[in-house]
Structure formats: C-alpha cells, structure tokens
Structure 1
Amino acid sequence: MANVAPAVNIANLSFQYPGNEAPSFTNLNLQIAKGERFGLFGPNGAGKTTLMNLMTGLLKADEGTIALNGIKVGRHKYRVNRLFGFVPQDFSFYQELSPKENLEFFGAWYGLNSQVIKQKTDELLQVMGLADVRDKQVQQFSGGMKRRVNLAIGVIHNPGILFLDEPTVGVDVQTRHAIINYLIDLNKNGTTLIYTSHQLNEAEDLCNEVALLDDGKIMAQGGLNDLLKQHKHDDLEELFLALTGKHFRDDV
C-alpha cells in the first residue's frame, strides 16, 4: 500500500517580512496527518498567523516547500484552493449582502454549480442558526452571528482541510459551544482541522494534537495528553506558560 500524503507537509520553510531584522521562520519542518484536529498555539508574535498565511498561500515562502495533500502550495493555485477552507480572524464577507447572498457568491467563486450552492446554502444556514435571517444584511448582525457566517463561507465547498484562525473570538458561550460541536462533527466526517486560538480551554475540547510555537520555532508537538504527561502539567495553559514564559508579549 502506498504511503498516504499528510494533510500538511512543511519542509525547510524560511520566511522573513521585508524590512524586518529577523526572519519569522528558519528551516521550519512540520507534518499534520489527515483527519487530525490540530492546534497551533503560541504567544503574540510567535508566528501563528504568519504560518497559517503561508500554508494557505496568502504569503509566499522565501525557501522550502508547503504541500497540502501532496500538492505544493504556490505551484497549483487552483487545485490547492479547492482543497482547503479558511476561516480568518477578520471577517471575510460582504457586510452589505445577506448571509444567503454571501454563500451564493463564495459558492460560485469556488466553482460549485447552482444546485449544489442552493443545497449547501440552505443546509449551512439551518445548521448555523441563520435560516430566519437569511435575507438580512450581515452588517446588522451580532458578533456571534457574523462568526457563524464566516464559518459557513469557509466550509461551503466541503474542503478536506479547514484552517481556523481564532474562529470564536468575541462570541458568547452558546455560540462558542455550537461552533466547536460543529467543527468536531466536520472532523468526524473526514475534515482535517488546523486551529489557532488564545482560548486554551476551548483548545483542549477541540484538539487531539498540538504544536506550541514561539519565536518561529516549534517548542513541543504531539498528542495533547502525551505532552501533558511528558512535561508533568495538568492542562494546556500550564504547559504553554512553562514553555513560552510568563512575560508580556504585547505586539508593538
């Protein structure tokens, strides 16, 4: 039986923002297996969002390669874009449109036919609790409702890999619970989740494997329970502080 390509394979990755004195990453290597619920964590400035932007092709690596399901990012843009969904921290929809119109637009952008777009739009509006407001402008929505629109757009094309950058920031407990449960269901159906957040208690509910990133380096990686036992800590927050320190990391 042939070896199955990992969902994400990062090999010897180097990247430096123009004008920065130091690189964000130097010879970084990381593999994420298909079907994982993978958490990427680190303090402010550790490189989490930069790495996610590199994996999704929003930034281009200076050296090294990134492959999704064996297809190299940057060389097969159309094929790669169909492989993954991305739910960014910033809202990525048109505020003046309704959730229905947003889903129809992004479904067409992904190349779905009209029948599939209608089916997926109806399904996602129902699942996300947005069916009753399907025709209202998104700009009228609460933060939690906007988060659910953001998530629906990211999954309308049934991606095999879903990148999530702070998907529940600023939402209430009910919305957070609904989003996490939906993501776990997606994963059970085969979607690989790659997730970053400052909500470490939430991460323990969602992730079965984690990597702790600091200063562009992976400080620890493995199954969450195995890492806690190995480093003799009770929860992810304790492990996080032990490996990255307790000093302030505010962005300047």
Structure 2
Amino acid sequence: MTKTTSTDAAVSVSELRKAYGANVAVDGIDLEIHRGEIFAVLGPNGAGKSTTVEILEGFRTRDAGTVRVLGVDPGAADRAWRARIGIVWQKPVESSPLRVVDILEHFATYYPRARPVAEVLDLIGLTEKARASVRSLSGGQLRRLDVGLGIIGRPELLFLDEPTTGFDPAARRHFWELIRGLAQDGTTILLTTHYLDEAEALANRVAVIASGRIVAEGDPDTLGGRADGRATVSWLEDAQRQEVTTDEPTRVVAGLVQRFPGEIPELSVHRPTLEETYLRLIAENTVEDATTETQEVAA
C-alpha cells in the first residue's frame, strides 16, 4: 500500500461530535482518508456510523469538531462541491416506468463533466438492459443502476453505503473489480458495509466505530492486533481433537511432524479472522445504551 501524508487528505475530521438530546451518537471522532484510497467504515447499527457519514456528505449538521471533505466544510458546501462527490445510497432507486438509459442521461445533466452514458452502462453491466424500464429490473440490477447514478458525475470522492446488498456472488465480484478500477483512476472511496469479506477484499484501511468512537483503525491484515494474534493449531490424535494456542505455530507443527510418520491427521492452523477481530472489538467497546440507528435517522 502506498504511503501517504496528511497533505493529500480527501477527508479530514477532528473531534467530531453529534448528539440527539441525551443520546451521544458521535463522541469525538478523528479521521483522515487519503486521496485515491478505499477506506471502509465498520460498525454495528447504532454505533454512529451513519451519522458520521451523513455529516461528511453534508446532510447532517455537527455539534462540534472540524470537518473538511475535498478541502471544504460540507456544512457550508455549495453546488460545485456536490458535483465533486458521488453517493450510492443504501436504499435502492425508486421504481420508474422510464428506461435505464433515460434515467442515466437525465442525471448526467446535473454534472459539468459527466461520464458518457454508454461507458457507465458498460461499467455497471447493464448495457443489455439500457432500454428496459427501471421497474422491470431485478433487485441486483437496480443496485447496479444505483452505482451508475453514483459514478456518472466522475466523483473525486464516492460514498458507498452497503453497495452490494442484493448482489449474487458473481455480481459482487464484478462490482469489486469496478471499485478497484475507480480507485486506480484516482477516485477516493468511503465504503460502509456489513460484509467483512468485502472490507477485507477492497479496503486499504479500515476503521471500526463503536459507541460513537473509533476503537480501531488500520490495514485489514493488522487491525486490532490481528497480525499479532495467537494462532490455534489443532489436529486429530487418538480419535480426539487436540488443540494448542501459541505464538509459535511453526514450532508446534514441526514437533507434530516428528510424532506422526505421515500426514498429521486433520491439521489446521488458525489465526484470528477480520470478522473475529471485529466482533471482539465491538464486544469490548459497546455500551448498553448506545444510540440506535433508528434514533439517528429519526432525529
């Protein structure tokens, strides 16, 4: 991963705070996202994830803190700034009798340097559905159209909120390649997802939010001490599963090689997965009366 500095920050946040009455949704978040990287924000419902992202998008006000997105305070941003960002909402586009190509052509008029509609259709895999009505699309195809509307303006920063909901495995892989391609072309991407494999496959860095605070941040491979987590070596011996937790799995396996004449029965070496690390971080840092996402949206 390319090393970057604060001078190329697409998003810079310091001491961000937001409360709804007595419920504190965001409690002093510091965050920096570099230009051209894919940054994933993870957290359970009610953690403050949605509120934080909506403040960055300019759709919610903050109580305190400094926020800069593409060098601008989103709370005071103008139309020109909005043309520089793209958003793929969690809820799919509304059903419409209009054709897919018509919807894309209409949205293209909102942007000063829109992508050609044919290019967008190809990127999202809907070329063959260009003249189909939106209401005839399947759930996965509607989600692809959502992505098309998010990228048609050539955004410098793209917000993706649970983008692959409703995708089959093949469509998810195709979408991942699209996101990687956008990042390689210089688009900064902020991804929120509940799919841990998606965050691991795409993100350069990950932040975990719990109870309104960032409790861990870093490379998916090292997040929360994951790389230094103890390994569990297990095998079958005398018809019983044996297990050892160790900092030196290679030494344990070498010892087993000396004990068994051939293959070690059902040998496995397991280190903490991203999902296991995430669940541990959430369990360690979640308070019982955290604000719920419903409260955040209703406020």
Partner Cα separation in structure 2 for residue 57 and residue 163 of structure 1: 12
Give the one of 165, 184, 191 matched to 1:188: 184
Q: Does 1:14 align with 2:20?
A: no
Q: Could you say if the C-alpha distance between residues 92 and 80 of structure 1 is closer, same or farther in structure 2, counting changes exceeding 3 Å?
A: farther
Name the amino acid aligned to 2:277.
L
Partner Cα separation in structure 2 for residue 108 and residue 93 of structure 1: 19
Q: Name 1:176's counterpart in structure 2.
A: 172
1:140-194 CA deviation, whole Å, 9 max, x = no partner?
A: 1011101110001101111111110000012111111111110011111111111
Partner Cα separation in structure 2 for residue 85 and residue 56 of structure 1: 9
Give the one of 127, 147, 153 matched to 1:131: 127
Partner Cα separation in structure 1 for residue 62 and residue 98 of structure 2: 34
Residue range with higher mean Cα deviation, 225-234 or 132-141: 225-234
Residue range with higher mean Cα deviation, 189-198 or 22-31: 22-31
TM-score where L is the length of structure 1: 0.89
Q: Could you say if the C-alpha distance between residues 64 and 94 of structure 1 is closer, same or farther in structure 2, counting changes exceeding 3 Å?
A: farther
Partner Cα separation in structure 2 for residue 235 and residue 80 of structure 1: 39
Give the one of 145, 152, 158 matched to 2:141: 145
TM-aligned CA deviation for residue 72 of structure 1: 1.5
TM-aligned CA deviation for residue 93 of structure 1: 5.3
2:7 match: secondary structure = coil
Partner Cα separation in structure 1 for residue 6 and residue 90 of structure 2: 34
Q: Does 1:109 align with 2:110?
A: yes
Compute the RMSD of aligned alpha carbons.
2.3
Q: Does 1:49 align with 2:62?
A: no
Equivalent pair of 2:204/2:220 in contact (CA under 8 Å): yes
Equivalent pair of 2:67/2:74 in contact (CA under 8 Å): yes
Residue range with higher mean Cα deviation, 205-214 or 83-92: 83-92
Give the one of 186, 193, 200 matched to 1:197: 193
Q: Name 1:229's counterpart in structure 2.
A: 227
Q: Name 1:84's counterpart in structure 2.
A: 85
Partner Cα separation in structure 1 for residue 70 and residue 187 of structure 2: 12
Partner Cα separation in structure 1 for residue 117 and residue 52 of structure 2: 30
Partner Cα separation in structure 2 for residue 109 and residue 74 of structure 1: 21
Q: Does 1:211 align with 2:207?
A: yes
Give the one of 227, 230, 239 matched to 2:277: 239
TM-aligned CA deviation for residue 251 of structure 1: 6.4
Residue range with higher mean Cα deviation, 99-108 or 229-238: 229-238
1:59 match: secondary structure = coil
Residue range with higher mean Cα deviation, 238-247 or 216-225: 238-247
Equivalent pair of 2:25/2:211 in contact (CA under 8 Å): yes
Q: Name 2:76's counterpart in structure 1.
A: 75
Q: Name 1:157's counterpart in structure 2.
A: 153
Equivalent pair of 2:93/2:146 in contact (CA under 8 Å): yes
Equivalent pair of 2:221/2:274 in contact (CA under 8 Å): no
Aligned pairs, how many?
A: 244
1:245 match: secondary structure = helix
Identity of aligned residues (%): 32
Q: Does 1:97 align with 2:98?
A: yes
TM-aligned CA deviation for residue 4 of structure 1: 2.4
TM-score where L is the length of structure 2: 0.75
In structure 1, the gaps of 5 or more residues are none
Equivalent pair of 2:58/2:77 in contact (CA under 8 Å): no
In structure 2, the gaps of 5 or more residues are 231-270, 295-299
Equivalent positions of 1:56-71 (< 5 A) are 56-71=57-72
Q: Name 1:220's counterpart in structure 2.
A: 216
Equivalent pair of 1:200/1:237 in contact (CA under 8 Å): yes
Equivalent pair of 1:94/1:102 in contact (CA under 8 Å): no
Name the amino acid aligned to 2:119.
E
Equivalent pair of 2:10/2:188 in contact (CA under 8 Å): yes
Residue range with higher mean Cα deviation, 47-56 or 204-213: 47-56
Q: Could you say if the C-alpha distance between residues 192 and 230 of structure 1 is closer, same or farther in structure 2, counting changes exceeding 3 Å?
A: farther
The one of the two structures with greater contact order (alpha-carbon pairs below 8 A, sep at least 6) is 1
